[in-house]
Amino acid sequence: MIANSNPYDELMAFQRDTEALEEVAGRLGWDQETMMPEGATDQRAAERAAISKVIHARNTDPQISDWLARAEPQDDVAAANLRLIRRNHDKMMKVPARLAAEIASTTSKAQSIWAAARQAEDVSAFLPVLENVVALRKEEAAALADGGDLYDALLDGYEPNTSGARIADMFASMRPRLVALREAVLSAKAPMILSGHFDETMQLQLSAELAQAFGYNLDNGRIDKAVHPFSSGSGQDVRITTRTNPADPFNCFYSTIHEVGHATYEQGIDDAHFLTPLGRGVSLGVHESQSRIYENQLGRSRAF
């Protein structure tokens, strides 16, 4: 340990390296879904398991507890970073390294199996690995829950500090209006359907123009095709994917706009928080609110 060193600064330097490795792990996932050779599935699963072990070891490093005990936040940003690091450290200490690596390996293989099963419209080909994933996630939930509700334990990773009961109450309050909206839509006259064959290259070209019109910075991003659209990354490298359908160009356009909502949220985070806990979206709910606002409130507006 360096004499007269600042525990907070030491912790943040360590954390930035961990966050960088997590970004690398994310790139492996992005590559798998966009351009990885089909025959590389097993090797990629091993790679993702290996980096998962390294990240888990860093997230559970004993030094973190020492730094957290000695660090004194000088401002609100430091206090927030310490709170989030402590929260993650406490959670990761409950999950065995073996389980973290097995989840990474199995879900990596599951992705490729799912993509092939989807294309073949053969759900039976995916069910065995899905059962394995569910079993592993249940084991993870049991480790995190400390005897509490398993669903709540996993939910916390997506929407912190909420519960299944709270979400059920929210859905119950929304149900009457949603049912009424559904009935109104189904009883209305169906709109005219666009028909024809729409060139994939032209779809992707227009999607790129739409992405930039909605504020997506391609100097720090890129657009590729994937079986199912997703966004990936944070900070200076935020990538999105879309998909095309020769009979339905709007599938491509709205998928792109949706993912741009995710991506511009990440690109809009202050660079000062690059590779820190504050340098990424706060929750899945907030993330989806941004993507849905772009896709529906903006992309489906009459003005647009």
- The residues annotated with a catalytic role in the active site are 259
SS (H, E, C) the chain: CCCCCCHHHHHHHHHHHHHHHHHHHHHHHHHHHHCCCHHHHHHHHHHHHHHHHHHHHHHCCHHHHHHHHHCCCCCHHHHHHHHHHHHHHHHHCCCCHHHHHHHHHHHHHHHHHHHHHHHHCCHHHCHHHHHHHHHHHHHHHHHHHCCCCHHHHHHCCCCCCCCHHHHHHHHHHHHHHHHHHHHHHHHCCCCCCCCCCCCHHHHHHHHHHHHHHCCCCHHHCCEEECCCCCEEEECCEEEEEECCCCCCHHHHHHHHHHHHHHHHHHHCCCHHHCCCHHHCCCCHHHHHHHHHHHHHHHCCCCCC
